[in-house]
């Protein structure tokens, strides 16, 4: 194997681990759609940065931060609209803006289409540094606000009613969610990132007991999905993104079967 592929595997492992860790919170809050929503808003940011001829680094970060803040305004029990319905409407808007942007583009659209599927095979060292830093920032946040995040996972209503500084922690979480998704988007792609957020975390929730084990296993499953998916695609000469998605779904299926045959919840 070429030494370059070790960089690809490293990038995949870090992207998988950070999205897996993020997924543990997103899935636990019953908002898996938030990942695809924010990643698509990051995609909109990139497309319109390219269209306007400005630096495509800031567009996705600004757009995903704005969309995170908008989603933060949807309050449980206080908003007239269900959070998941709000996410679905937001996603449709982002999808519409994405295809409008693609339609307005002249010349090659490969750069933009790469955002849908990702371009893990064209990863640069600088990108690995950026996704590592963003992943570490999120991990530090999760460790520092562990006690508050646990209450938010269990019930945002309880968190809010009992003075857990729910608004502050939730908005901080959404902002970092936007950051993680924006920096991983060019590598993983808008479609695959959804799979890496939901499947590893959902698998961990199937088999784990206790919050800490969920966090660890979601991170490990995310990393394993990306690395195994890449190795399968390399040796069998198959599309990388598709292999990663299938591996992550398989990990979930095996976990669900394990829980079923173990036959207990404890």
Partner 1 sequence: MMGGHISLSSVEVRLSGRSILAVKDMQIRQGEFVGIIGTNGAGKTTFLKVCCGLIKPARGIVKLDGRDMAGLNAWSKANVRKHIGYIPQAAEYNAELPFTLRELVSMGRASVKPLLSPLNRVDYEIVDNWIDRLDLSERRSQTFRSLSGGEQQKALIARAMAQDPEILMLDEPCSNLDFNWKYQITEIIEQLHSESKITILMVSHETNLLPEGCKRAILLHEGGILADGDIEDVLDPNSLEKAYRCRIDVLKLAGRRYTVNKS
List residues binding partner 1 (CB under 8 A): 28, 30, 76-78, 80, 144-148, 150-151, 153-155, 157-158, 160-169, 205, 208-211, 213-214, 264-266
Least spacing, CB of residue 263 vs partner 1, in Å: 12
Query: Shortest approach of partner 1 to residue 261 CB, angstroms?
Result: 17
**First-to-last C-alpha distance (Å) of the chain:** 43
And the tokens for 108? 């090659």
Residue (3 or 264) nearer to partner 1, CB:
264
CA angle (2 as vertex; 130, 194 as ends), nearest 5: 45
Query: CA angle at residue 69 from 96 to 63, to 5 degrees?
Result: 45
Residue 219 near residue 17 (C-beta atoms within 8 A): yes
Q: How far is the CB of 206 from partner 1 (least distance, A)?
A: 9
**Residue of 5, 1, 37, 15 whose CA lies nearest to 200:** 15
User: In this complex, which beta carbon is closest to partner 1, that of residue 27 or of residue 42?
Assistant: 27
Please say which residue, 166 or 246, places its beta carbon nearer to partner 1: 166
Distance of closest approach, residue 171 Cβ to partner 1, in angstroms: 10
CB 141 within 8 A of CB 25: no
* Residue placing its CB nearer to partner 1 in the complex, 92 or 213: 213
């Amino acid at each position: 194997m070429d030494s370059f592929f070790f960089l690809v595997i490293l990038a995949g492992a870090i992207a998988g681990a950070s999205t897996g860790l993020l997924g543990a919170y997103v899935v636990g809050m019953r908002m898996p759609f938030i990942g695809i929503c924010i990643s698509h808003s990051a995609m909109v940011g990139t497309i319109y940065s390219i269209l306007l001829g400005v630096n495509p680094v800031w567009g996705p970060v600004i757009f995903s931060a704005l969309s995170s803040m908008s989603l933060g305004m949807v309050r449980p029990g206080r908003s007239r609209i269900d959070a998941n319905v709000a996410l679905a409407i937001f996603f449709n808007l982002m999808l519409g803006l994405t295809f409008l942007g693609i339609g307005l583009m002249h010349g090659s659209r490969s750069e933009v289409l790469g955002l849908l599927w990702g371009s893990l095979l064209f990863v640069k060292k600088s990108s690995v540094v950026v996704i590592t830093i963003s992943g570490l920032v999120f991990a530090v946040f999760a460790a520092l606000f562990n006690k508050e995040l646990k209450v938010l996972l269990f019930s945002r209503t309880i968190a809010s009613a009992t003075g857990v500084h729910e608004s502050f922690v939730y908005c901080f979480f959404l902002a970092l969610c936007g950051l993680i998704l924006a920096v991983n988007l060019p590598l993983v792609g808008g479609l695959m990132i959804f799979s890496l957020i939901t499947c590893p975390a959902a698998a961990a929730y199937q088999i784990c007991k206790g919050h800490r084990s969920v966090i660890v296993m979601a991170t490990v499953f995310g990393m394993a999905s990306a690395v195994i998916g890449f190795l399968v695609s390399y040796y069998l000469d198959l599309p990388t993104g598709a292999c990663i998605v299938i591996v992550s779904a398989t990990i979930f299926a095996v976990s669900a079967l394990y829980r079923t045959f173990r036959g207990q919840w404890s």
